[in-house]
Amino acid sequence: MNIVALIPARGGSKRVQRKNFKCLGDKPLVDWTVDSAFLSGVFDDVVVCSDVPIGSDRPNHALPKTLVQPYPLHRDDCRDIEWVKDALNQLPTYDAFAILRPTSPFRDAATIRKAWDHFLNHQPADSLRGVRSVREHPGKMWVTEGNRLLPLLPFRHMDAPWHSSPTQTLPPCVIQTAAIEIAWTQTVIAQQSISGPSVLPFLMDGWPAFDINTPDDFQRAEEHAAEILHLARVSPSHP
């Protein structure tokens, strides 16, 4: 059983310029994920996939493999299956792969190990995806069509539509995080999908589930990174 960590780190970003390589705390954003991947001890290889050359200046740290892919595979409108297929075609054969996105820098080594164990212990399944609980239930959401509202989810609970039912009576909902996805390589080959129809939930919360999408998110991440570095200075044994 072997598994590879795929870390997508495209060079461009519209909302936070060069987000994946922007410094967070004492290192580039992408290095937080690279370090966690190595520390987890789960992976046979750690590979950074990008559309730009990746520097290897990581003194006293393990170096990931790097895979420079064509720019179209890392445009913001490109589907994940495209760059994943390209990466797996260029790399040795693995039984499974994990996608670890740099935008979740506080997903730590312990979280990765728990996710891998959860995946292996709940077979059969095509894949696993990190998720977190939502505060605003999608059953109460609407879309606009002209000057009218249409319910986002046209489901009914008992004799009433979801949007008119008490929230506490509706089924719990979760939203995917960017922290971790795991799948069998065969899922990509046979189903042309990175998830397949059978997806295991891996429930997360707090900072490990945090995702950077906006400048405000990056500022929050900087504040938390500063706290982590402060704790490391005052208590070197702090994990």
Residue 239 lies in a domain: no
Tell me how many domains the chain contains: 2
* pLDDT tens for the 239 residues of the chain, in order: 899 999 998 876 666 667 888 899 889 999 999 999 999 999 999 999 988 777 666 665 677 888 888 888 887 788 999 999 999 999 989 999 999 999 999 999 999 999 999 999 999 999 999 999 998 999 999 999 999 999 999 888 778 899 999 998 999 999 999 999 999 999 999 999 999 999 999 999 999 999 998 999 999 999 999 998 888 777 765 55
Same domain, 47 and 160: no
Which pLDDT does position 238 carry in this prediction? 52
Which pLDDT does position 237 carry in this prediction? 58
Same domain, 152 and 84: no
Which pLDDT does position 148 carry in this prediction? 96
Same domain, 107 and 181: yes
Which CATH number goes with the domain that contains 55?
A: 3.90.550.10
Determine the structural domain holding residue 141 and report its residue range: 135-172
* DSSP of 116-176: HHHHHHT-S-SEEEEEEE-SS-GGG-EEEETTEEEESS--EETTEEGGGS-GGGSPP-EEE
Same domain, 149 and 186: no
Which pLDDT does position 19 carry in this prediction? 83
Same domain, 141 and 49: no
Same domain, 125 and 166: no
**Preceding peptide of 124 cis, ω within 30°:** yes
Which pLDDT does position 185 carry in this prediction? 97
CA angle 27–4–26, rounded 5-degree value? 5
Strands (E) located in the chain = 3-8, 23-24, 27-28, 45-50, 65-68, 96-99, 127-133, 142-145, 148-151, 156-157, 160-161, 174-184, 199-203
Residue 75 lies in a domain: yes
Tokens of 167: 């929230």
Residues 6+ apart with CB under 8 A from 129: 176, 180, 181, 195, 199, 200, 201, 202
Residues 6+ apart with CB under 8 A from 189: none
Which pLDDT does position 29 carry in this prediction? 93
Same domain, 55 and 44: yes
97, 6 contact by CB (below 8 A):
yes
Same domain, 228 and 112: yes
Indicate the residue among 148, 172, 196 that finishes a domain.
172
Instruction: Please count the CA atoms within 13 angstroms of the CA of 53 that sit on its side-chain side.
Output: 3
